[in-house]
Amino acid sequence: MGASGSGKTSMRSLIFSNNPASLTARLGATIDVEQNHVRFLGDLILNLWDCGGQDAFMDSYLTTQRSTIFQHVGVMIYVFDVETRGMSKDLEYYRECLEGLQQFSPDAAIFLLVHKMDLAREPKNTTFDKKKKELQEASGEASVTVFGTSIYDESLYKAWSSIVHTLIPNAAVLSKHLTTFAGACSATEVILFERTTFLVIATSSPLSPPGQSGSPVDDIDAHQLDPTRYERTSELIKAFKHSCSRVREEFHSLEMELHNFTAVLDEMTKNTYVLIIVHDPTIETAALKLNIRMARRKFEELQGDSLIS
Amino acid sequence: MVNGPPSYAATSTTTPIVNRPQLNGHRTASSDAVTRTKILLLGLRRAGKTSIQQVLFNNLPPKQTFYLETTMRTVKHAFDTVIPLEIWDCPGNITVETLGAPLSHFSTMIFVIDIRDLYNNPISKLVEFIVAAYRENPNMSLEVFVHKAEKLQEDDKIENFRQIHERVSDRLLDISPEYEQIQLNFHLTSVYDHSLHEAFSKVLHKLVESLPYLEDLLNVFCANSQSPKAFLFDTTSRLYIATDASPVDSATHNLCCDYLQMLNSFGSLYKSATPHSRKPLPFTPPPSASSTSSLSPVPPRSSSSTSPGTPTSSTTRLTPHPSKDLFYPSAATSLHPSTPGTTLTYHLITSQLALLALLPTSVYEGRRGLLEFNVVFFREGVQEICEVEKETRDGR
CA distance B367 to B300: 7
Q: What is the mean pLDDT of residues B198-205?
A: 90
Q: Which residue of B has its CA nearest to A220?
A: B272
Picking from B273, B281, B324, the nearest residue to A282 by CB comes out as: B281
Cα A197 to Cα A16, A147, A233: the distances in Å are: 6, 19, 12
In this prediction, residue A26 carries a pLDDT of 62
In this prediction, residue B126 carries a pLDDT of 85
In this prediction, residue B17 carries a pLDDT of 33
CA distance B141 to B182: 9
H or E element in which residue B52 lies = helix B49-57
Architecture of domain B32-205: 3-Layer(aba) Sandwich (3.40)
Q: Does A72 touch chain B (CB under 8 A)?
A: no
Torsional sign, CA A53, A55, A56, A62: positive
| Residues A290, B302: C-beta atoms closer than 8 Å | no
Question: How are strands ordered across the β-sheet holding A253-257?
Answer: A200-203, A189-194, A272-278, A262-267, A253-257, B330-334, B342-348, B353-360, B229-234, B240-243
- Give residues 169 to 188 of A whose Cβ lies within 8 Å of B: 184-186, 188
CA distance A98 to A101: 5
Does the ipTM exceed 0.95?
no
Look at A41-45, A148-152, B308-312, B382-386 and tell me which has the smallest mean pLDDT.
B308-312
CA distance A136 to A142: 9
pLDDT band at B338 (very low <50, low <70, confident <90, very high): low
Q: What is the mean pLDDT of residues B158-184?
A: 85
Domain B210-267+325-396 annotated CATH 3.30.470.20: no
In this prediction, residue B322 carries a pLDDT of 37
Going by the DSSP 8-state scheme, the letter that residue A265 receives in this structure is: E
CA distance B29 to B31: 6
Q: Does A308 touch chain B (CB under 8 A)?
A: no
CA distance A166 to B136: 71
Question: A226: which chain B residues are within 8 Å (Cβ-Cβ)?
Answer: 268-271
Angle at CA B31, nearest 5°, toward B26 and B33? 70
* Domain residue extents for chain B: 32-205, 210-267+325-396
Of all residues in chain A, what percent carry a pLDDT higher than 90? 0
CA distance B315 to A218: 23
| Among A180-189, B5-14, B226-235, B275-284, the range of highest mean pLDDT | B226-235
How does the average pLDDT of chain A come out, rounded? 74
What is the nearest CA distance from B7 to chain A, expressed in angstroms?
25
In this prediction, residue B11 carries a pLDDT of 31
Q: Tell me chain A's radius of gyration from C-alpha atoms.
A: 21
How does the average pLDDT of chain B come out, rounded? 74
In this prediction, residue B272 carries a pLDDT of 67
Looking at the predicted structure, is the pLDDT value of residue B174 above 80? yes
What is the nearest CA distance from A225 to chain B, expressed in angstroms?
6
Q: Which residue of B has its CA nearest to A295?
A: B287
Question: B312: which chain A residues are within 8 Å (Cβ-Cβ)?
Answer: 284
Of all residues in chain A, what percent carry a pLDDT higher than 70? 76
Looking at the predicted structure, is the pLDDT value of residue B252 above 50? yes
In this prediction, residue B302 carries a pLDDT of 34
Residues A218 and A227: beta-carbon distance below 8 Å: no
Q: What is the mean pLDDT of residues A28-52?
A: 68
In this prediction, residue A42 carries a pLDDT of 57
Looking at the predicted structure, is the pLDDT value of residue B292 above 60? no
Instruction: Report helix angle A124-139 to A87-104, nearest 10.
Output: 40
pLDDT band at A223 (very low <50, low <70, confident <90, very high): low
Look at B15-19, B164-168, B208-212, B354-358 and tell me which has the smallest mean pLDDT.
B15-19
What is the nearest CA distance from A254 to chain B, expressed in angstroms?
4
pLDDT tens digits for B63-76? 788 788 888 888 88
In this prediction, residue B15 carries a pLDDT of 30
In this prediction, residue B300 carries a pLDDT of 34
Looking at the predicted structure, is the pLDDT value of residue B278 above 50? no
pLDDT tens digits for A231-241? 788 888 888 88
Higher-pLDDT residue of A159, A58:
A159
In this prediction, residue B274 carries a pLDDT of 59
Looking at the predicted structure, is the pLDDT value of residue B291 above 70? no
Q: Which residue of A has its CA nearest to B287?
A: A184
Q: What is the mean pLDDT of residues A69-93?
A: 75
Q: How many CB pairs under 8 A join A and B?
A: 160
Looking at the predicted structure, is the pLDDT value of residue B317 above 70? no
Question: B283: which chain A residues are within 8 Å (Cβ-Cβ)?
Answer: none
Indicate if B210-267+325-396 has the same CATH topology as B32-205. no
Domains, chain A, ordered by start? 8-167 (3.40.50.300), 171-308 (3.30.450.190)
Q: Which residue of B has its CA nearest to A214?
A: B284
